[in-house]
Amino acid sequence: MKVIAIVGSPRENGNTNTLVQQVLEGAAEAGAETKTYILNEMDYRGCQACNYCKANDECKLEDDLVEVFEELKAADGIVFGSPIYFSQFTGQMRLFLDRCYSLVNPDYSSRVPGGKKAVLVGAQGMPDPAAYAGVFEEFGGEISRFLGMEVKDTLIAAGGAAPGDVRENAELMEKAKNTGLNLFK
């Protein structure tokens, strides 16, 4: 088994990535090989609307997302992590998501092999965990529809503004680890 994480937070030690790493730790304990991609450290551009990917089986752009897309296709599980900035995922994650257009055939079927499990992870300063639930629900629906992945869980750290605040939430940290442990059950 292989589980990769795609993290859209610019804070490598922030709340989002802390939760993502808990999920990966649980997956590793269950026997999975894990790998993390921090989008903020990668060199990539947004979709160019050239439709090259609709006449070919890949994106025309040759940047750091080439490897991520190959790993995404090969992985059994994917953890998508992004904090909420200004009521939406970060720009890093939105840029990545736009490029996922290249993973969809002209008939809107997925180029990603089916059967993958997905976990959505986020953090937000807003204390109400439901405040941006719609962002995660929409994203989860799109993952299921366009990429054929089953969303197993959504984990949201609400109310923490400082990096590492989520570590104080023992219940959420345990839930994140258990999500990884049970990803394929």
Domains of the chain: 2-181 (3.40.50.360)
Q: Which residue has the tokens 């995404």?
A: 72
pLDDT reported for residue 161: 77
User: Considering the entire predicted model, what is its pTM?
Assistant: 0.96
DSSP labels, 71-127:
HHHH-SEEEEE--EETTEE-HHHHHHHHHGGGGB-TTS-BSS-S--EEEEEEEESSS
Copy the structure tokens of residue 53.
């990917």
Copy the structure tokens of residue 116.
């993958």
HSE, CB side, 13 Å, CA atoms: give it for residue 7.
24
pLDDT reported for residue 60: 97
pLDDT reported for residue 64: 98
Report the pLDDT averaged over residues 85-107: 96
pLDDT reported for residue 145: 84
Residue 2 CA: distances (Å) to CA of 75, 131, 153: 5, 32, 17
* pLDDT 10s digits, 22-80: 999 999 999 999 999 999 999 999 999 999 999 999 999 999 999 999 999 999 999 99
H or E element in which residue 142 lies: helix 133-147
Q: Which of 55, 59, 39 has the alpha carbon at shortest distance from 106?
A: 55
